[in-house]
Amino acid sequence: MDSCRCCLTKPCFKNISDEYSYGGQIEIYSDMLLNTFNLYITKFTDCEAQMICDRCITRLRDATEFKKQVLSAEETLLSQYTVSDGLSKEGDLILDIKEEDYNETSDGQSDDSTFIIDQGSINDSEGQIFVIKMDKKEESVNEKSTVRRPLPVRRKSEARVRSLRKSNTSMKTKTKKTPDISQTQIDLRENSLKLVQNSNLCLFKSRKTRFGCFFCKESFLKIAELREHNKMHSNTKILKLRFNSLRGLSYKNVEITNLACNTCSETCKDLQELKTHLQIHNIKFGVDTERHLLIPYKLEGDLKCTICAQNFNTFTRLAVHMNKHFMNNVCEICGVSYINRLSLRTHVNSMHREKKCTLCPATFLTNYSKVKHMKKSHDTGASKRYCLLCNKTFRYTYMLLEHRIQEHGAQRQIYECTECGKTFYAQQNLKTHIRCVHIKERNYPCSICFRRFFTKCDQRRHERSHEDVRSFSCGYCEGRFKSKDSLRRHLKRQHGQMYEK
């Protein structure tokens, strides 16, 4: 079942609980539904039951922006309101009270009078001026006086919202059961928290080519920039809540270059040496003092494993290598180990679980082969991308973007590289540029001379130069060449006039 959770259309290719980047911001569609409509999406164990289609994503974005627009307009109007308009600073209604037949004694004190206020009329007619009459008990006076006094009136909508919130929270407290946590898990949390609080460790999230902040959604290309950013997050309560909410063996990435103690500024080589040093300052750890939930990295300078000192050219390859040293979650089918349970679940879903076609009985080993089959056999790709203004469908995203720009006057979105200022029309092209030019990622080595290349295509083209096979022949002479590029250069140099014709 890969139907959309919002409209039940098929097929869908985005998970409702995963993070996606759009317009330079991170989107989690389940959180957007909760914040915009107060709708909580039930999470099932089946990954395919957590999908959302592109049409619902676009409508959800529009609804979120509309809510922000309404809230900002409401704040602007409230700030412009004055007391004379009938609204006090506290948001209370001011009622005009006409005092009729007001009785006054000789000593200047008024007699007791009973007020008659219809509570239903107050709730049903907000923003109006109410006339409240007083019943006469003894004597009446001909003079009439008008008294303006603020009476706090709770609005009907606010009272309903508060009552609903109370009922929801009461139901949650009744049904929610606190999970049983072992003492070992508590010790691991406390050990990790004490290491972070008493040193200059830098917590970070891995986002492929960037390093994400542990506390917010900001991300940086260099770890030094993230260290400067982390100085803004000095609230220890948030840090404690994050670590106390960890489930199971949920390891976190830390950068330990120039590791030092916060109390005495003494430098330490690794986390174990830091633990031994912190005990001098009377900082006590759990029973198992050697274990914690932190994965150490040294990312300034050469990328090396902090445990076995193996070199790597990219952080992604280093992070994959760290799974060998933290064998906490092992696949029962192939025996591959992973640091976190989420990585193991992703591995099982992508490698060992069969993917079924929703339109025919065909099954596939990988999700890529399933999507390729559905595009080729059932023509599902054509209905995936469509224009919301004129309902035209397009096979590729770039065709839809060009249609919006040319037909509906949309602005072309440009992505600029922060390192060199080069601009791109697609965010994926910007990411590829950063990996190739600035990070210098080279993951494909030549099997003969061990020269490394960025893409598999570059590697294969280079390896042909080591072979003595000349598969490309010239049509104007007897020359033969190893690659198409060599043949093209030969045609331009030797047969330029004929080749141009």
Convert the pLDDT of each residue in 235-252 to its tens digit: 777 787 777 776 666 788
Q: How far apart are CA 37 and CA 27, in angstroms?
A: 16
User: pLDDT at residue 254 above 70?
Assistant: yes
* Percent of the chain predicted with pLDDT > 70: 75
Strand order in the sheet with 252-255: 219-220, 210-213, 202-207, 252-255, 294-297
Confidence of residue 384 (pLDDT cuts 50, 70, 90): low
Angle between helices 271-278 and 183-197 (to 10 degrees): 90
Mean predicted confidence (pLDDT) in 258-286: 87
Q: Of 90-94, 116-120, 152-156, 259-263, which has the strongest mean pLDDT?
A: 259-263
Contact 348, 333 (CB under 8 A): yes
Q: What is the pLDDT of residues 14-39, one digit of tens each?
A: 888 888 878 778 888 888 888 888 88
- Hey, what CATH class is 444-500 in? alpha beta
Residue-level pLDDT at 118? 46
Consult the annotation and say whether 53 binds a ligand: yes
Q: How far is CA 332 from CA 69, 215, 347, 351, 421, in A?
A: 51, 34, 11, 12, 48
**Measured between alpha carbons, how far is 50 from 44 in angstroms, rounded to an integer?**
7
Distance CA 235, CA 325 (A): 32
Q: Are the CB atoms for 53 and 12 separated by under 8 Å? A: yes
DSSP state at residue 110: B
Query: What is the predicted pLDDT for the residue at 420?
Result: 92
Report residue 45's pLDDT band, with 50, 70 and 90 as the boundaries: low
Residue 103 has pLDDT above 80, yes or no: no
474 is in an annotated binding site: no
pLDDT of residue 422: 93
- Whole-angstrom Cα distance, residue 9 to residue 54? 10
pTM (predicted TM-score):
0.42
Given a contact cutoff of 8 angstroms between Cβ atoms, the answer to whether 262 and 169 are in contact is no
Q: Which of 349 and 73 is assigned the larger pLDDT?
A: 73
* Window from 7-11, 119-123, 445-449 with minimum mean pLDDT: 119-123
**Which among 155-164, 247-256, 261-270 has the top mean pLDDT?**
261-270
Question: Would the annotation count 7 as a binding residue?
Answer: yes
Q: Is the pLDDT of residue 410 over 80?
A: yes
Supply the DSSP string of 413-441, one letter for each residue: P-EE-TTT--EESSHHHHHHHIIIIIS--
Domain boundaries, the chain: 14-80, 93-102+114-149, 184-301, 444-500
Share of the chain above pLDDT 90, in %: 4
Mean pLDDT of the chain, nearest integer? 76
* 436 carries a ligand binding annotation: no
End-to-end distance of the chain based on CA atoms, in angstroms?
Answer: 56
